[in-house]
A and B are shown apart, each in its own frame.
Chain A
Amino acid sequence: MSSETPQAHGALPSRRDFVRLVGSGLVVWAVLRRPAAAQVNEAAHAITFRPKQDGDFNAYLVIGEDGHVTGFTGKIEMGQGPITSLPQMLAEDLDVAIDDVSLVMGDTDLCPFDQGTWGSQTTSAFGTVWRAAAAEARGVLLELASEKLQVPVARLSVLNGVVTDSGDSSKRVTYGELTRGQKIERRLEVKAVLKTPDQFRVIGKPLLRRDSREKVTGKAVYAGDVRLPGMLYARVLRAPAHGATLKHVDVSEAKGIEGVIVVQLPGLVAVLHELPDVADDALGKLHADFEPSPSTLDDTTIYAHLEKADVEGRVVAQGGDLDAGRAQAVRRLDQTYLGSYIAHAAMETHTALARVDGATATVWASTQNPFGAREEIAKALDLPIPSVRVITPFVGGGFGGKSFNLQAVEAALLSKATGRPVQVMWTREEEFFNDTFRPASVVKIQSGLDSAGRIAFWDYEVRFAGDRASEHLYDIPNHRTTAIGFFGGPPGIHPFAVGAWRAPGSSNNAFARESHVDQLAVLSGVDPIEFRLRQLKNPRLTRVLKAAAEHWGWQPAKGPSGRGLGVACGSDAGAYVAAIVQVEVNDGKIAVKRALWVQEMGLVINPEGAKIQMEGGITMGLGYALTEEIHFKDGAILDTNFDRYALPRFSWLPKIETVILEANDAPPNGGGEPAVILTGAVIANAFHDATGSRVFSIPMTQARVKAALAAKAGNA
C-alpha cells in the first residue's frame, strides 16, 4: 500500500474533493456549542481545548450533486460500529438509501471538532446532533423540491432520495437533481424536528457491519498499514521501570549497523531504519544505564497504599440519616472489595506514521481522539494547531486506551528530527509498559438490614476506581456514597499512568455493590432476585431484572443453592442491564457455562450492532473477572505480553444470550460499555452460589479461588 491519502472507510475525499463538495451541492452545518461528553467522562477533563478555527458550528454533511450523502465526523471506528449506525441515522432522517451514504471519520482537516470517541457517547449525545443535521438537510431539499415541482411541501414525500408529489406520482425529482449546480449552505440553529419511532424505516433495523468486506480481505487500512516513500521505522528506548531515569546511553554500536539512524532528544532516544526488524535489532545494541525507580510498591502492597492515601473525598450522593439507619440495623455487614490494575490490550498496539515537513505535519494515528492528538503533536512540535493534520484510519480496538497519543508525538518528533516520514508501532511489551491502566481500587461498604430484612443504611466509599456508577440504585432510606480520587488519579497516587478503561469505574463499583447486595440477600435468606426486587423502585432496572429472570427460567432459591447461579444488575451510560450466569468450579478455576444479559438502552439504532457490543462486553469482561491483572514491582511491569497476561480465549466461551428490551420512545443511551460492568459481580455471586465461598478481589484467579475455598474449609 503506497498512497499519499490512504483510503480510509471506503471513500475518503482529498481536500480538493472536499472543497468541490462544499463548493456545490448542499452543505448543512450543525451547532454543538457545549461538548456533550464532559460531564460523563473524567478523561475529557484532560483535553478540553476547542480550536478557534472551528468556531461554534461544524460542517456535518454534504449532499453532493449526484445526490450522494457524505457525513463528516470526528468520531472514529475502532470496532464499536458507528461506521454502520451513523449512516443508518443519516439514511433515516434524510430518506435516502443507506448505500448512498458514506462517512469521513477522524480527519482533523476535513471533520468537525470532536472531543473523542469514548463514554458511549456516539449515539447517545452526538447522534442527536447528527440526526438533526440530516433532518435540516431534508427540510431544505423539500423546499427546493416544492419550488421545482410547484407543489406545497406538505404534499411531498421522500423515499430513497426521490421526492414525489403524493397527489401526482408523475411529479418527482431526485435529491441529486435538486442539488446539481446549486451552492447552498445551511446553518442549523434551531432544534430540528426528528422523525419519531413510528416513522422509522431504517433506524431500529438490524444491519450488518459496513466495513466487513474490507476487513475480511485484508484491505482495511490501519495506521500501521500506511506507507510513504522514504519512511523509517522507529524503535524507542524505554526505561526498565516507571520512574527510572536515563543516566547514560552508548549508541555507538547501534550506529554501526548499516542504515541505522540514532536520534537523541530530551526524553526520547530512538533508533530508526528502513526496515522495522533491523530497527528492532539496533535497539538491542543501545547500552543504557538507568537510575532505578524510587517506587517501592508492588501488586500486593498497592491496596494498603491506596487505603491510606490521604486524598479528600467528595460525596456523590446521600440521603436520609446514616446514624439513624445504623441504629435500625439488626444485622451489619462491613466489607472491602479490591480491583487490580488491568490493561486495555487492544490487538492493535499504539501506532502512528508522521510526516513533518517544515511548518506542517500530517500524522496517521491509531487514536480514539484525533483532535486531542493534534493538540499534543502541535505542542510537541511547537506548531500552530491548524498546521497539524491527524488522519485516523481504522483503529484496531481502543477501550479507552487510545485516548492519549504518545506514539503519535514520538513519531512526529522523530520525523522532524530526521526529515523523513517515521512510523512508530509500539511492541506489545511497550504497549503494556505505556498503557494507561484501569486503576487498582478499593471499595469499602458498610451496610445493615433492619428487622424486616430491608437495607436500613448504606455507606459506600470508592477509592480511586472513579465515581461513575457508584450510586447504589436501590431504595435505601439512609445512604451516602463517597468517592476518593478518580479513575485518572490524582497524580502521584499510582506508580504509573492510569486512565479510562471501558466504562471507567463502573466495573469496580458494580463488582463491589452487587457482591455486597448478594451477601445481604444471603444474610436475609432470600432469593437474590427477589431480594433485589424488594429494594428496587427504579422501573427500568426492575424491568431488566424481571426480564432476565423470565428469560433464564429462574427458579427462586436462597443462596448458596449449590447450583452455581449468579445475578447482578446495574446501570452505565444511561442504560440498564441485568445478568445471570451459571458457573462450574474445577480445581480453583471458574468456568462460565451460560450467560444471559438483558439490557435496556432507550432507542436502539442498529439492534444487531447493539447485540454485538453486548456480546463483546460480556466476553471481554470475563478477563477482568477471572485472570487479567497487572503485576508490578518497584515501577517495573512484570506482565508484558499475552503469555503472562491472559485474555479471554475461545475455550472460555459460555453460551451467551443477549436480550435488548425495546424502549424506542426513550432517548438513546450508551451501548458500547454497559454490558461489561457486570461480569465481575455476577461471576462472584455465582461462585458463591456454587461453593458458599466468596472472592472479594478481582480478578478471581485460580489462586484467589483456592484461597477462598481453603478459608471456608478452615472455618468449617
Chain B
Amino acid sequence: MSATVSFTLNGKPVSVRVAPDRTLLWVLRTDLGLTGPKYGCGIDECGACTVLVNHRAVHACMVDVQSVQGADVLTIEGLARGEKLHPIQEAFVAHDALQCGFCTSGMILAAYDLLRTHPNPTREQVISGMDGNLCRCGAHTRIVDAVLAAASAMGGKGPS
C-alpha cells in the first residue's frame, strides 16, 4: 500500500513513504512535522489548510499526497526568508490583519496566489479572491487592507 512520494517542501526536497491516497494536510502535519496548515472544516469550505502547490493555492484537506509528487509545495513556514518576512506577512503585521490567528496561514497563502494572478488588484478583486477563506474573528476589513498594501509594497509585480 505504501509508496514513496517525493516533492519540494519549503525549498527542500522531501520524500515520505506513505499510503499515496493519504490527505496532504495530515501528511504535512504529522509525517512532516509542520503545523502552519490548519484543519478547519475538511470539506473545502474554510481555507485554513491552504498551501501553495507550484505557486497555486490549494486546500490541503482536499488533495492526496500523491498529487504533489514532483511538485513545489510551500507552506506558511517557508514564506519568510530567514528572519525577513515576506511583504504579505509584513502587511498583515502592519495592519493587525488577524486576531486569533488560526486562519492566518491560509489567508496569507490565498493572498499570495491572488497577487500572483492579480498583482495590482482592485479592492473588489481582493474581496472576491479571498472569499474562499473564512475568518470567525472578523478581521476581514484589515485583511483586505493588508493585501492591497502588500500589492503596493511589491510594486505591482506580485509575489516572488
- Footprint of B on A, CB under 8 Å? 1-2, 78-81, 208-209, 211-222, 224-225, 227, 233, 274-277, 345-349, 394-397, 399, 425, 427-428, 608, 612, 615-620, 641-643, 647-651, 653, 656
Q: With contacts A650-B130, A650-B144 known, is A80 near B23, CB below 8 A?
A: no
Residue of B nearest to A274 (CB): B30
Complex: A349 Cα to B79 Cα, angstroms: 25
- Is A217's CB under 8 angstroms from B102's CB? no
Query: In whole Å, how far is B3's beta carbon from the nearest beta carbon of chain A?
Result: 15
- Footprint of A on B, CB under 8 Å? 22-23, 26, 29-31, 33-36, 38-43, 45-46, 48, 75-77, 79-80, 85, 89, 92-94, 96, 98-105, 108, 126-128, 130-131, 133-144
Instruction: List 18 A-B pairs, Cβ < 8 Å.
Output: A1-B35, A79-B98, A208-B93, A212-B92, A216-B85, A218-B105, A275-B22, A276-B30, A277-B23, A345-B136, A347-B135, A397-B136, A428-B43, A641-B45, A650-B126, A650-B127, A650-B144, A653-B144
- Is B131's CB under 8 angstroms from A651's CB? yes
Add 17 more A-B contacts to A396-B38, A647-B136 (CB < 8 A): A79-B100, A80-B99, A81-B99, A208-B96, A277-B23, A347-B103, A347-B135, A348-B100, A399-B136, A428-B40, A428-B42, A612-B142, A620-B137, A641-B41, A642-B43, A651-B128, A653-B127
Chain A residue numbers with a CB within 8 Å of B75 are 218
Query: In whole Å, how far is B49's beta carbon from the nearest beta carbon of chain A?
Result: 11
Chain B residue numbers with a CB within 8 Å of A648 are 138, 140
Q: Given B76, B100, B131, B139, which contacts A346 in the complex, CB threshold below 8 Å? A: B100
- Is A277's CB under 8 angstroms from B41's CB? no
Complex: A173 Cα to B126 Cα, angstroms: 53
Residue of A nearest to B76 (CB): A218
Chain A residue numbers with a CB within 8 Å of B93 are 208-209, 212-213, 216
Residue of B nearest to A655 (CB): B141
Complex: A612 Cα to B142 Cα, angstroms: 9
Chain B residue numbers with a CB within 8 Å of A346 are 100, 102, 136
- Is B99's CB under 8 angstroms from A656's CB? no
Complex: A648 Cα to B48 Cα, angstroms: 15
- Is B30's CB under 8 angstroms from A2's CB? no
Residue of A nearest to B103 (CB): A347
Chain B residue numbers with a CB within 8 Å of A345 are 136
- Is A275's CB under 8 angstroms from B26's CB? yes
Residue of B nearest to A207 (CB): B96
Complex: A275 Cα to B101 Cα, angstroms: 25
- Is A349's CB under 8 angstroms from B39's CB? yes
- Is B22's CB under 8 angstroms from A647's CB? no
Query: In whole Å, how far is A672's beta carbon from the nearest beta carbon of chain B?
Result: 10
Q: With contacts A612-B142, A615-B141, A641-B43 known, is A348 near B38, CB below 8 A?
A: yes
- Is B100's CB under 8 angstroms from A397's CB? yes
Chain B residue numbers with a CB within 8 Å of A615 are 138-139, 141-142
- Is A653's CB under 8 angstroms from B41's CB? no
Residue of B nearest to A214 (CB): B101
Q: Given B85, B102, B127, which contacts A396 in the complex, CB threshold below 8 Å? A: B102
Complex: A78 Cα to B35 Cα, angstroms: 18
Residue of A nearest to B135 (CB): A347
Residue of A nearest to B129 (CB): A650
Chain B residue numbers with a CB within 8 Å of A214 are 101
Q: With contacts A208-B93, A212-B92, A212-B96 known, is A79 near B101, CB below 8 A?
A: yes
- Is A650's CB under 8 angstroms from B140's CB? yes
Chain B residue numbers with a CB within 8 Å of A618 are 138
- Is B131's CB under 8 angstroms from A2's CB? no
Query: In whole Å, how far is A676's beta carbon from the nearest beta carbon of chain B?
Result: 9
Q: Given A79, A221, A276, which contacts B137 in the complex, CB threshold below 8 Å? A: A79
Chain B residue numbers with a CB within 8 Å of A208 are 93-94, 96
Chain A residue numbers with a CB within 8 Å of B39 are 224, 349, 425
- Is A612's CB under 8 angstroms from B33's CB? no
Complex: A397 Cα to B34 Cα, angstroms: 21
Chain B residue numbers with a CB within 8 Å of A224 are 35, 38-39
Query: In whole Å, how far is B114's beta carbon from the nearest beta carbon of chain A?
Result: 11
Query: In whole Å, how far is A272's beta carbon from the nearest beta carbon of chain B?
Result: 14
- Is A394's CB under 8 angstroms from B99's CB? no
- Is A620's CB under 8 angstroms from B138's CB? yes
Chain A residue numbers with a CB within 8 Å of B34 are 218
Query: In whole Å, how far is B54's beta carbon from the nearest beta carbon of chain A?
Result: 20
Chain A residue numbers with a CB within 8 Å of B23 are 277
- Is A217's CB under 8 angstroms from B77's CB? yes
Chain A residue numbers with a CB within 8 Å of B26 are 275-277
- Is A209's CB under 8 angstroms from B46's CB? no
Chain B residue numbers with a CB within 8 Å of A428 are 40-43
Chain A residue numbers with a CB within 8 Å of B100 are 78-79, 346-348, 394-397
Residue of B nearest to A620 (CB): B138
Residue of B nearest to A658 (CB): B141
Query: In whole Å, how far is B25's beta carbon from the nearest beta carbon of chain A?
Result: 8
Chain A residue numbers with a CB within 8 Å of B101 are 79, 211, 214-215, 220, 394, 396
Q: Which of A208, A214, A397 has the most CB atoms of chain B within a 10 A radius of its CB?
A: A397
Complex: A345 Cα to B137 Cα, angstroms: 10
Query: In whole Å, how far is B37's beta carbon from the nearest beta carbon of chain A?
Result: 8
Residue of A nearest to B102 (CB): A396
Chain B residue numbers with a CB within 8 Å of A225 are 35
Query: In whole Å, how far is B151's beta carbon from the nearest beta carbon of chain A?
Result: 16
Query: In whole Å, how far is A418's beta carbon from the nearest beta carbon of chain B?
Result: 17
Complex: A556 Cα to B97 Cα, angstroms: 36
Chain A residue numbers with a CB within 8 Å of B35 are 1, 218, 221-222, 224-225
Complex: A80 Cα to B35 Cα, angstroms: 22
- Is B89's CB under 8 angstroms from A216's CB? yes
Chain B residue numbers with a CB within 8 Å of A78 are 100
- Is A617's CB under 8 angstroms from B138's CB? yes
- Is A347's CB under 8 angstroms from B140's CB? no
Complex: A100 Cα to B46 Cα, angstroms: 37
- Is B48's CB under 8 angstroms from A275's CB? no
- Is B42's CB under 8 angstroms from A653's CB? no
- Is B139's CB under 8 angstroms from A612's CB? yes
Chain A residue numbers with a CB within 8 Å of B141 are 615, 619, 653, 656
Residue of A nearest to B40 (CB): A347
Chain B residue numbers with a CB within 8 Å of A276 are 26, 29-30
Nearest 10 CB-CB pairings of A with B: A218-B36, A79-B100, A396-B102, A619-B138, A79-B99, A215-B101, A616-B138, A218-B76, A225-B35, A642-B45
Chain B residue numbers with a CB within 8 Å of A220 are 101
Query: In whole Å, how far is B68's beta carbon from the nearest beta carbon of chain A?
Result: 16
- Is B139's CB under 8 angstroms from A643's CB? no
